[in-house]
Chain A
Amino acid sequence: MYQYDAHDQRIVDERVAQFRDQVRRRLAGEITEDEFKPLRLQNGLYMQLHAYMLRVAIPYGLLSSAQLRGLATIARDYDRGYAHFTTRQNIQYNWPELENVPKILDVLASVQMHAIQTSGNCIRNTTSDPLAGIAADELEDPRPYCELIRQWSTFHPEFAFLPRKFKIAVTGARTDRAAVRVHDIGVCIVENDVGERGFEILVGGGLGRTPHIAKQVRAFLPYEDLLSYLEAILRVYNRYGRRDNKYKARIKIQVAEWGVEKFAAAVEAEWAQIRDSSTKLTRDEIDRIKGRFITPTHETLPAEDLDALALTTDREFARFVKNNLRAHRVAGYTAAVISTKPQGRPPGDVSDTQLDALADLADEFGMGEVVVMHDQNVMMPNVRQRDLRTFYDRLTAWDLGTANAGRLTDQICCPGLDFCNLANARSIPVAMRIAEHFDNLDYLDDLGDLSLKMSGCINSCGHHHVGNIGILGQEKSGSEAYQLMLGGSPGNDASLGKIVGPAFSSDDIVGAVATVLDTYAQQRESREETFLDFYRRVGLAPFKESLYGTDQGRRSRSG
């Protein structure tokens, strides 16, 4: 956990004062809504269908127990007793009153948090690998670099009015769990031919209405050059990115239209001018930032026999051990995924009392830290394996022990038409019906690792393009329709899902998912062949056949 120094704290405190004054001037009519909009957006405040929504930054997903308690306080005092984890490691409140937002920011600042640049056409919260710091395949912990980027991008005066929003992700592991290939900039810690470490820089990935996989702009960048190189990319984008059409304004379009060679050449030319400027990092500064992180100290513990635990007669606990644990590089420890997706609750929602409970559990079992994951779950990264049984019992007491991590019902879902004024269709009710329909966890375990991601419109906040199964809500002649996509994946082998055929009605979409799953279950070579592997081997054809019959998808079932 990064510890603010007096400078960090002062910047956040002064931001609260600034926004309090802006709200006062807005309420007094001194600034128009058009003028206020970008100001509130750069503070994470959206106007939704029914109310304002406040998005709070959780830098690279890391939260302390004190911060969790702060978030619980806000949910209780200024919202309706709950909050919502997002797909970019942030948290949202759906019902704040405008005049209370400065008070909410006060609470956040008191626990070293803020809502800075969580929306708007600026550099957003930098995200990372949820297993950062504990993964065995990690070259180096990426979070100090995320923090360097956070500080550099916070109120960067040149880049507050970019053509469009801008998202950066950093990974330090060989396996990409940060979806760097679908970010505006993906930063990967790599080792070059002579064993030096630095960054590979990818640019121009993104989802939305025109999904793109990011392209490599630089194969190796020395650590000290990180910020000057990002500055060069941002400057080329700020000066030449398209501003004539909102839907063509992301950097992915600039990279696609220019071609990556021309884009990289422009960045390199700009970088050559600023590479040795004072923005260049020093080894001392990098080490200093690393030193500001309080890293948990692990005990020397024997490794427990988790395989034996997974065979225990308490089937739900056994399932939790099988599904919800992630390997930890220190013997005797494990990372536990806490699912926010039990049946009957919108994915990502947690109550104020659950947030407080998570804080207590983090203090008791998790060295005071939790990590918010891209799939809207929470992970306790440092649990002693020998505490697992007690830990699990305490989780279940708070309805936080659902053992569906990585399974179908561990679905990603955007807020959809229930909250969002961009949405064309509802997504939460469909997610809840899917959770209800597929309530047999034995069946889901048999299907194995499988991701389902759903968005209520083409802006794709639910990342449907990179779901093994993707669902896209649409509005068709006044009613909701759902397009089904297969084969997406956000990782190293990133791929975009393909539309399987005509859309399904709200009534039919759950059945269509069931048909897809049955097709896979019946035709896979073995249980070792995952859904994604199966799809990559056979393509869309068998799914078309079972969904639409032999006429290959011409018959619409959307009615």
Chain B
Amino acid sequence: MALIKDDAAAPAETWTTLADEDVAPAEGDVLVPLARWLAERDALTQREARVGVVLQPGDDALTLAGALEGLALVAVAFPKFTDGRGYSSARLLRDRLGYTGELRAIGDVLPDQVFYMRRVGFDAFDLAEGKSVETALAQLKTFSVTYQAGADDERPLFRRVQRPA
């Protein structure tokens, strides 16, 4: 699947997604569910390879408070693009928890949503199967003006520019 990072096409990466009961392989980067990360942080970070956590829509991003160290990646899953909970998760990770590492949207990630996703704090997009990187990159430039504060600019428009009286 096509990956976009920092507004550019990025080479594919190999992450092994582990379920709660899967044994971690000796080598290779792994993605684990939130509960497992919280429970097995020490063991997971002692491995040589990188570890990331996957937040499902129903997961509370705020439970990562104090548990972000050692994470190479936070992946927020969008099983269906119409489920918007991941947008709030991203916002909370960036604004509330001050997470500055890679925040990747995974799952049903479509070009027409990446603009919003970037505004709430995603800096990486693992596009859904068959979706065009070129289209998605173009969509990142859809709007040159936005009204609200976001993870891309913490000021709303009226604090960013002098709007006419």
Residues of A within 8 A of B (CB): 5-7, 10-11, 14-15, 18, 22, 25, 30-31, 35, 38-39, 121, 151-152, 154-162, 235, 238-239, 243, 273-274, 277-279, 282, 285, 288, 291-292
Given A5-B164, A7-B157, answer yes or no on A157-B148 (Cβ-Cβ < 8 Å): yes
Alpha-carbon gap, A278 to B116, bound state (A): 19
Q: How far is the CB of A268 from chain B (nearest CB, A)?
A: 16
Alpha-carbon gap, A152 to B147, bound state (A): 6
Question: Chain B: interface secondary structure?
Answer: loop
- Contacting pair A288 B158 (CB below 8 A): yes
- Contacting pair A243 B83 (CB below 8 A): yes
- Contacting pair B82 A161 (CB below 8 A): yes
**Complex contacts, B149 vs chain A, CB 8 Å:** 277-279
Which of B88, B117, B147 makes the CB contact (< 8 A) with A238? B88
**Complex contacts, A15 vs chain B, CB 8 Å:** 143
Beyond A155-B146, A157-B146, 18 additional contacts (C-beta under 8 Å) are A6-B164, A7-B163, A11-B147, A14-B143, A31-B112, A151-B147, A152-B147, A157-B115, A158-B116, A159-B84, A160-B84, A161-B81, A162-B84, A235-B91, A238-B84, A238-B85, A238-B87, A282-B158
Which of A7, A10, A14, A161 makes the CB contact (< 8 A) with B84? A161
- Contacting pair A279 B156 (CB below 8 A): yes
- Contacting pair B163 A235 (CB below 8 A): no
Alpha-carbon gap, A123 to B87, bound state (A): 15
Q: How far is the CB of B64 from chain A (nearest CB, A)?
A: 15
Q: How far is the CB of B55 from chain A (nearest CB, A)?
A: 12
Residue of A with least CB distance to B108: A35
- Contacting pair A279 B87 (CB below 8 A): no
**Complex contacts, A22 vs chain B, CB 8 Å:** 112
Q: How far is the CB of B103 from chain A (nearest CB, A)?
A: 14
- Contacting pair A158 B87 (CB below 8 A): yes
Which of A35, A155, A288, A291 makes the CB contact (< 8 A) with B112? A35
**Complex contacts, B157 vs chain A, CB 8 Å:** 7, 151
Alpha-carbon gap, A151 to B158, bound state (A): 11
Q: How far is the CB of A223 from chain B (nearest CB, A)?
A: 14
Residues of B within 8 A of A (CB): 57, 81-85, 87-88, 91, 95-96, 110, 112-113, 115-117, 119-120, 132, 135, 142-150, 154-159, 161, 163-165
Chain A to chain B contacts (Cβ below 8 Å), 23 pairs? A7-B163, A10-B144, A10-B145, A11-B145, A14-B142, A14-B144, A18-B142, A22-B112, A25-B135, A30-B132, A31-B112, A121-B84, A155-B143, A159-B84, A159-B87, A161-B81, A161-B87, A235-B88, A235-B91, A274-B95, A279-B148, A291-B165, A292-B165
Residue of A with least CB distance to B141: A14
**Complex contacts, A25 vs chain B, CB 8 Å:** 135
Alpha-carbon gap, A285 to B144, bound state (A): 21
Given A39-B112, A238-B87, A278-B156, answer yes or no on A157-B150 (Cβ-Cβ < 8 Å): yes
Which of A14, A158, A274, A291 makes the CB contact (< 8 A) with B88? A158
Which of A14, A39, A157 makes the CB contact (< 8 A) with B120? A157
- Contacting pair A157 B132 (CB below 8 A): no
Alpha-carbon gap, A239 to B96, bound state (A): 15
- Contacting pair B147 A155 (CB below 8 A): yes
Q: How far is the CB of B116 from chain A (nearest CB, A)?
A: 4
- Contacting pair B161 A156 (CB below 8 A): no
Residue of B with least CB distance to A240: B85
Alpha-carbon gap, A548 to B60, bound state (A): 55
Alpha-carbon gap, A376 to B148, bound state (A): 32
**Complex contacts, A155 vs chain B, CB 8 Å:** 116, 143, 146-148
Among A6, A38, A156, A292, which residue has the most Cβ atoms of chain B within 10 A?
A156
**Complex contacts, A30 vs chain B, CB 8 Å:** 132, 135
**Complex contacts, A154 vs chain B, CB 8 Å:** 147
**Complex contacts, B84 vs chain A, CB 8 Å:** 121, 158-162, 238
Which of B91, B115, B161 makes the CB contact (< 8 A) with A7? B161
**Complex contacts, A156 vs chain B, CB 8 Å:** 147-148
- Contacting pair A157 B87 (CB below 8 A): yes
**Complex contacts, B142 vs chain A, CB 8 Å:** 14, 18
**Complex contacts, B158 vs chain A, CB 8 Å:** 282, 285, 288
Alpha-carbon gap, A35 to B108, bound state (A): 10
Which of A6, A18, A161, A274 makes the CB contact (< 8 A) with B83? A161
Alpha-carbon gap, A277 to B92, bound state (A): 13
**Complex contacts, A35 vs chain B, CB 8 Å:** 81, 110, 112
Residue of B with least CB distance to A11: B145
Q: How far is the CB of B63 from chain A (nearest CB, A)?
A: 13
Residue of A with least CB distance to B163: A5
